[in-house]
């Protein structure tokens, strides 16, 4: 089976983003600015991950999403952080969603639905994903702090929603319990990763997984 990959650039007056993704891991073209980062870079036998958004905690979350989804991912962003974190966080998620959708291709021969539960110490999150072709998200993380590192906590559900928007998928992500906001957020991204990994599993067939016969 061929690997599912995509590479794209997204440039606006607010952010300039490059992203390469392989849903099946393996080698990937990695830009110099991504590898220059020590924020969230990891090379293993099966995955190559380098994320440099300019926001350390966002890098940490996208790294976790990539790692536990089984992706290889290179993402760099030169964003207007002199304003705040909003455009950078949102646009990185939109670009990642677009790359994911392109790599995924038509929703044919996919499991379609996926569920993930991930704890991080006292925190526990649940994610449910449907490769529906209809972007929709419900994200309830119950974060209490204003910021985690340099990322506003209000941007964390917005990142997941923006990813779902451009990925064209339905996601429901809930943090079910937890005291520590870093743990709550990280468990949410890990749960999302597990759900995405399951939903994007290839069945080996070429059927459209829908009663309508089309997605």
CA angle 201/125/174 to nearest 5° reads 95
CA angle 187/148/159 to nearest 5° reads 65
Number of residues that bind Mn ion (CB under 5 A): 1
CB of 191 to Mn ion, least distance (A): 14
Residue closest to Mn ion, measured at CB: 186
Q: How far is CA 173 from CA 31, 77, 94, 128, in A?
A: 31, 25, 17, 7
Q: Is 59 in the site for Mn ion (CB under 5 A)?
A: no
- End-to-end C-alpha distance for the chain, whole angstroms: 22
Find the part of the chain contacting Mn ion (CB under 5 A) among 44-52, 82-90, 146-154, 178-186.
Answer: 178-186
Alpha helix (H) ranges present in 43-85?
Answer: 56-69
Q: Which two tokens stand for residue 62?
A: 């996208």
Between 23 and 89, name the residue whose CB sits nearer to Mn ion. 89
Between 67 and 172, name the residue whose CB sits nearer to Mn ion. 67
Q: Is 181 in the site for Mn ion (CB under 5 A)?
A: no
Q: Is 186 in the site for Mn ion (CB under 5 A)?
A: yes
Q: Which two tokens stand for residue 35?
A: 């590898």
CB of 157 to Mn ion, least distance (A): 18
In angstroms, the CA 81 to CA 116 distance is 32
Question: In degrees rounded to 5, what are phi and psi of residue 86?
Answer: -65, -55
Find the part of the chain contacting Mn ion (CB under 5 A) among 40-48, 93-101, 109-117, 179-187.
Answer: 179-187
Is the separation of the CB atoms in 28 and 42 below 8 Å?
Answer: no
Between 120 and 195, name the residue whose CB sits nearer to Mn ion. 120
CB of 62 to Mn ion, least distance (A): 12
Total Cβ atoms within 10 A of residue 16: 15
Site for Mn ion in 20-39 (CB under 5 A): none
Between 181 and 186, name the residue whose CB sits nearer to Mn ion. 186
Give the DSSP H/E element, type plus range, for residue 159: helix 155-167
CB of 45 to Mn ion, least distance (A): 23
Between 85 and 186, name the residue whose CB sits nearer to Mn ion. 186
Find the part of the chain contacting Mn ion (CB under 5 A) among 73-81, 162-170, 184-192, 207-215.
Answer: 184-192
CB of 60 to Mn ion, least distance (A): 6
Site for Mn ion, rule CB under 5 A: 186
């Amino acid at each position: 089976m061929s690997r599912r990959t995509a590479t794209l650039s997204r440039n606006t007056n607010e952010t300039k983003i490059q992203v390469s993704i392989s849903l099946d891991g393996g080698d990937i073209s990695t830009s110099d600015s991504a590898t220059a980062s020590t924020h969230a870079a990891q090379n293993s036998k099966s995955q190559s991950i380098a994320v440099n958004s300019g926001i350390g905690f966002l890098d940490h979350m996208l790294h976790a999403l990539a790692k536990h989804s089984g992706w290889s991912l290179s993402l760099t962003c030169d964003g207007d952080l002199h304003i705040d974190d909003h455009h950078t966080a949102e646009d990185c998620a939109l670009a990642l969603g677009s790359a994911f959708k392109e790599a995924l291709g038509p929703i044919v021969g996919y499991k379609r639905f996926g569920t993930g539960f991930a704890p991080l110490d006292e925190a526990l999150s649940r994610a449910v994903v449907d490769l529906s072709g209809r972007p929709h998200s419900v994200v309830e993380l119950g974060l209490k702090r204003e910021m985690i590192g340099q990322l506003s906590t209000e941007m964390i559900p917005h990142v997941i929603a923006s990813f779902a928007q451009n990925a064209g998928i339905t996601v429901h992500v809930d943090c079910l319990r937890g005291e520590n906001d870093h743990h709550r957020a990280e468990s949410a991204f890990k749960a999302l990763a597990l759900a995405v990994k399951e939903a994007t599993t290839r069945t080996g067939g070429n059927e459209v997984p829908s009663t309508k016969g089309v997605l």
